[in-house]
Chains A and B, each alone.
Chain A
C-alpha cells in the first residue's frame, strides 16, 4: 500500500533555472507605459495586484538573472510567473506561467505529447533533468484589461486542474477510475 506513488511533487527552486535557456525572438522589450487599469509585464505591480485580486498569494521576487519573477500557488500546485523580454530587468514584454514536477519514470516525451495533443493552453515538456513542466506564455505588449487577464488566470487555474486529472488517469493513481485488473 505504501509503495504507491500517490502524488506528483511540484518542484520549486529548480524551476527558476528553466526560464534561463529559452530562445526569445529578437524584438524584445516593451517601452510603452502600461495603460491605466491594464496589466503589463513591464509593470510587475500590475501583475501581482491582478493575482491578488484573483485570490492568489503572489510574492514578487527575482529570478537568477535579476529579472522580476512571481512565486505563487493555487489550489492544485505551486507556480512561478517569469518575466521575459526585459532589458536591464525592465520593460519586459511577456509573461510565462510555469509549474514543474519532480523527476519520475513516467516523465517521457510520449507522456508530454499526450497532453500537448489533447489539451489546451499549457505546453508540456520533459526537461533533460527528468522534470515534467507545464508552461503558459502570455503576450503583454499593449496590455491586458482586468477582465481579460482574469480570464488568463482562470485558464491557468482550470488547466492545472485538468493536469491533476490527466496525471490521475494516465498514471492510474489511486483516485483514478478503476482500471482492468492486471493479468
Chain B
C-alpha cells in the first residue's frame, strides 16, 4: 500500500512538469487535411482541391474574398515544411510595380506583386516545421485576413487617385 501511495504522489507530480513544457496545444500543419481542419476550427471554411499538376491545396475565404493555402517542401516521411496563403486581384490598367512598391514599403506581412498577367498576387508564407501553437496559428490567419482587407482599402484609394479620363494604356 505504501508503494502505491508513493506511486500516486509521483503520478501527481509528473503532469505538473509536463504541463510547464507544453502549456499550449500544438497544431500539426504538415498536411492539407490538417490545415483544413485547423482553418475550420478557427471559423473559416476550408475545402481541399487539386491543382492542374495534381498537388493538393485548400480553398477558403475571408471577408468575402477567396484565398488558397498552398503546400511547399512536401515529403512522404515528414509531410510539408511550409504553407503559403495566396490570393489575387484582377488586372487593372493602373496596377504597376510602383503601386506594389508603395504597398510593400508601408505594409507588413502581405507581400504583393504584379504578376505576368498584370494581376496583383498576394502572398503570406508561414514556416510550419515544429508545429504552431493554436493561438499563434489564429494570429497568423488574423494577419492574413486583416492585411487582405487593408489591401482592398488601399486599392480603393489608389483607384480614386487615378485621373478620371485616363487615356487607354499603351496609346
Contact surface of A with B, Cβ cutoff 8 Å:
21-25, 27, 32, 35-38, 84, 93-94, 96, 108-110, 112-113, 116-117, 120-128, 133, 135, 137, 139-152, 154-155
Contact = CB atoms under 8 A, between A and B. Distances in A.
Contacts of A127: 105
Interface residues of B, number: 49
Contact of B109 (A120, A139, A149, A155): A139
A111 B59 CA distance: 31
B39 interface: no
16 contacts: A22-B106, A36-B21, A112-B97, A112-B100, A116-B112, A117-B114, A120-B72, A123-B108, A124-B111, A126-B105, A127-B105, A128-B105, A142-B134, A142-B137, A144-B132, A155-B125
A151 B129 contact: yes
Contact of A142 (B20, B100, B136): B136
A78 B12 CA distance: 49
Given A112-B104, A116-B111, A143-B24, A25 B97 contact: no
Contacts of B26: 145
Contacts of A120: 72, 82, 84, 123, 125
Given A113-B97, A142-B134, 13 more contacts: A23-B106, A32-B135, A36-B21, A112-B97, A113-B114, A120-B84, A124-B104, A128-B105, A137-B108, A139-B136, A142-B136, A150-B130, A152-B127
A65 B150 CA distance: 25
A24 B146 CA distance: 10
B91 interface: no
